[in-house]
Chains A and B, each alone.
Chain A
Amino acid sequence: MTTAAKLWRQSLLTMTGALALSVMVQAGEARQLFAGKQAMPPNDRLHIQTKGMLTVTTAVPSAEETRTFFGIDLYSKNVQPVWVQVENRSESIVFLTPMGLDSAYFTPRETANRSRVNFTEPHTHKFEEQAMVRMQVPANSIQSGYIFSRVDEGTKSFNIDVIGSDSLQMMTFFIPVPGLKLDHYEVDIRGMYSEQELKHVSLPELADELEDLPCCVRDKKGENKGDPLNLVFIGEIENIYYAFMRAGWDETETIYGSSLIKTMASALMGSRYRYSPVSALYVFDRPQDFAMQRARSSINERNHLRVWLTPLRHNGTPVWIGQISRDIGVHFTWKTITTHKIDPDVDETREFLAEDLAYAQSVHKFGYVGGVGPASYDEPRGNLTGDPYFTDGNRLVIWVADQPTAIDEIENLNLLEEFDSKTSD
């Protein structure tokens, strides 16, 4: 062992303070694991995943639980602690990297600086003592502690990456955090269509069926046509949802009094209320099954997406239809005083989404079908708030990947024979 290895091991031993041996029972076999630094979990909503010789347990405290535990309202400082326990039963050292959990994680001292009152009282130790400070998890050991991330309300989605010399284990956790009422929890996705209503289609049939779906969203009365339905997703709800979370999209809150107040405040003050509610648009005589949004720099610069489940199934996989718009500002109308102005170049917004999901490694293959109907720049159509839009008339069809897919592995399907000539103008 080199000097460095000795020093490093020594420091690992000293950092643990009182050493303890814990007996872990795994697969019927009693093993002795070296107990490294430990912190108590914040609640009993533990989420456990095991891969090979590695078990990771996580828990996310709510805003209230965080305040109780740390004595400070960290959520209001945009800091959300995540409790992580790693049990490494292998014979080699592994690294737990906080950056996998949040690319802009806070160190314990950054957390301290966000919540300190002055620079005269000791404050840092409250976080440093509970934190998972070091990345190294030695062979046959168990350790736990907090990683400080940015706040996600609703569902906390994160990766735990554990890197070893010859191995990389990636685990994705989705942990509901109490406090936000999200629209898609209210929709019974599985019970939406009966077995008789489902339509199982082959690939050529799929293209035909997709072209026959409604061109556009409608208002509640079903009278006026609005924004074009220019997106199709093929995938299980979990994979679609994971894909959007990985790409940094946020869930939306159902419209309630308090959320409207938050939205108005953020529109006026320019702050970002990431979960602000979206209005209902209608397809199949019902409002969207779920909606997502991705903030850019202010509430007036967001992308909105609404999605409906169709009765179509392709190779047993659900088919969804959706509408996306890019808010490019606020404008004033006589009807509602203010409304978001959308980018009339709806194809630009559609292609942005393709890339956003592709770079989240979530696109398996994609292609285009018709169904929207073209509208030219000089003769645009109008949506429900009177905004014009123009389009090549195509729908982007995305097969959502169920495992990470690099951009050079994405298959481009030619579902539309004339596509080359159409888009090359």
Chain B
Amino acid sequence: MHTDCPNGGPAPKYNVIRVGLLLLSIALLSACASGPYHGAKMDDASFLARAMTQESNNLVVHAAVPTAQESKLLTGLDLHAQGIQPVWLKVENRGQSRARVATWSIDRDYFSPIEVAYMNRKKFSNAAYEDLQKWFYQNGLTRYIPAGESRSGLVFTHLNSGTKGFNLDIFSNKAANSFTFFVPMPGFTADFMQVDFKGLYADKDLRNLSIDELEVVLEQELPCCASDPGGKLQGAPLNVVLVGSGLAVRRSMLRGAWRETAAGDAAGNLVSQGARKQHFQGRQPDAIFTLSRQDGNEKVYLHLWLAPWRVEGEHAWVGQVYYWADSESPLDGSIAEDMIDDLKFKSFFARESVVADLDSAQRYLFQDLWYRGSLHKAGFVTGVGESAMDDPRVTFGGTAYFTQGLRVVVFLSETPRGLDEGELIYMLRESLPPGETSP
């Protein structure tokens, strides 16, 4: 075959339209780029030095994640620009039977190795593409690991910014082992990593609460809302309480694909700037997590502060949950000051905006934790106070909102629990007596 393009297609005797289309396609795809392909040797990759290791039931898993630049050095391709983030894994099977890595558990929409190669074929001649494809095929992680052996390789996941958190299930006959990795990425520091949690409260200031005492504290002592940075004006309601370790919180957020927020993340992100103005115990949120809709511009925000309590020995977190929608710019809360006290505008905002609908965000969080297996016990308590749509309360930032006035309380589970393993506490523990529901 000899055409202008090395290893391009044959040319003769086809009708003009087809040839025209094909030439056009070739021109569009600039398929003539060429050059040999040389992937780097996996074992020499410098990022492997950052590998983290976990061990469970005769399985040892090492995990490392290259940065954008390290991915490029390794593969010669700008994978991050294509939304692809390779994860390197090594699995040692010290058990007696064959183990199977469930690639799906890391990312259910992972890219197959040859798929990644094929996506990048246009830069290479056919001969060079052969080398490219082979490199990806040979460096992909195989699924089966025979007893007493180990395997290593790459899994091609969807890129996410910040800490690379992922689950990994390895199973054998009627058994499964679950691992959760949070691999820190150079250049990203989550907000909570800069908080000195141990130094936040002196031992003498910490209160130990039972589940029942927590209910009283939440209904009668905890203020309804956060404050402004000066501690004078009322902010958004404190409508969430989580009980569990920091790790339990992180795992719960990972299961729901919530995103961490970079420390000092203010530049260009008006919402984060606003979020950091919400204060509790005289400080901005210790952690902000966000969850974006894939098919829209709505986001759910969750702000968390470590509370000065231990509930049944566990850490507790006070929080705020609400929706945000970029599409609502005329309604987005950043309104002229003279509008803030305009009752008509306030109630219009409260009636129409997704931002104003705090209880829907609270319901979403409650279900998200339950459906992702993070919920151990949950209930609702009062403490926020009702804010009516017709005469809504307004935060110091000018956002009107309505709510029934309840706080959701969730005791988190570190390990995934079935939907039927959640326990309802507080008022939901009691069923209403028959007849009481009649008018």
Q: What separation, in Å, do the CA atoms of A328 and B424 have in the docked complex?
A: 46
Known contacts being A408-B171, A420-B146, is A104 close to B432, with CB within 8 Å?
Answer: no
Whether A424 lies near B295 (C-beta < 8 A) is: no
Report B-chain residues with C-beta under 8 Å of the C-beta of A301.
115
Interface stretch of the complex, out of B63-71, B238-246, B301-309, B365-373: B365-373
Whether B104 lies near A355 (C-beta < 8 A) is: yes
Interface stretch of the complex, out of B41-49, B173-181, B392-400: B173-181
Q: What separation, in Å, do the CA atoms of A119 and B137 have in the docked complex?
A: 53
Whether B360 lies near A328 (C-beta < 8 A) is: no
**Interface status of B199 (Cβ within 8 A of chain A):** no
Known contacts being A2-B427, A21-B438, is A345 close to B137, with CB within 8 Å?
Answer: yes
**Interface status of A46 (Cβ within 8 A of chain B):** no
In the complex, how many angstroms separate the beta carbon of A128 from the nearest chain B beta carbon? 9
Q: Mark B97-127, 1 if CB is under 8 A from A, else 0.
A: 0100011110011001111001100000000
Choose among A1, A13, A103, A420 the residue that contacts B98 (Cβ–Cβ < 8 A). Answer: A420
Whether B176 lies near A407 (C-beta < 8 A) is: yes
Whether B219 lies near A3 (C-beta < 8 A) is: yes
Q: What separation, in Å, do the CA atoms of A165 and B357 have in the docked complex?
A: 27
Q: Mark A335-351, 1 if CB is under 8 A from B, else 0.
A: 00100010111001101
Q: What separation, in Å, do the CA atoms of A108 and B354 have in the docked complex?
A: 9
In the complex, how many angstroms separate the beta carbon of B240 from the nearest chain A beta carbon? 15
Within 8 A of B (CB), among A277-335: 296-297, 301, 326, 328-329, 332, 334
Q: Is the interface of B mostly helix, strand, loop or mixed?
A: mixed
Within 8 A of A (CB), among B125-183: 134, 137, 140, 143-146, 149, 169, 171-176
Choose among A122, A139, A163, A358 the residue that contacts B437 (Cβ–Cβ < 8 A). Answer: A139
Task: Name which residue of chain B comes closest to A338, CB basis.
Answer: B25
Whether B426 lies near A4 (C-beta < 8 A) is: yes
Task: Name which residue of chain A comes closest to B83, CB basis.
Answer: A297
In the complex, how many angstroms separate the beta carbon of B290 from the nearest chain A beta carbon? 15
A-B pairs with beta carbons under 8 A, tally: 207
Whether B432 lies near A139 (C-beta < 8 A) is: yes
Q: What separation, in Å, do the CA atoms of A294 and B323 have in the docked complex?
A: 30
Report A-chain residues with C-beta under 8 Å of the C-beta of B50.
none
Report A-chain residues with C-beta under 8 Å of the C-beta of B14.
334
Whether B293 lies near A423 (C-beta < 8 A) is: no
**Interface status of A205 (Cβ within 8 A of chain B):** no
Whether A424 lies near B331 (C-beta < 8 A) is: no
Within 8 A of B (CB), among A8-25: 8-9, 11-13, 19, 21
Task: Name which residue of chain A comes closest to B110, CB basis.
Answer: A352
**Interface status of B312 (Cβ within 8 A of chain A):** no
* Interface residue range, chain B: 35 or more
In the complex, how many angstroms separate the beta carbon of B30 from the nearest chain A beta carbon? 14
In the complex, how many angstroms separate the beta carbon of B320 from the nearest chain A beta carbon? 17
Report B-chain residues with C-beta under 8 Å of the C-beta of A11.
386, 404
Task: Name which residue of chain A comes closest to B363, CB basis.
Answer: A135
Task: Name which residue of chain A comes closest to B422, CB basis.
Answer: A163
**Interface status of B330 (Cβ within 8 A of chain A):** yes
Whether B367 lies near A358 (C-beta < 8 A) is: no
Report A-chain residues with C-beta under 8 Å of the C-beta of B424.
164-165
Q: What separation, in Å, do the CA atoms of A114 and B328 have in the docked complex?
A: 11
Inter-chain pairs besides A1-B432, A168-B420, A407-B171, 13 sampled, C-beta below 8 Å: A8-B404, A107-B364, A119-B331, A122-B348, A138-B437, A140-B434, A161-B419, A163-B422, A341-B118, A355-B102, A407-B176, A410-B171, A424-B98
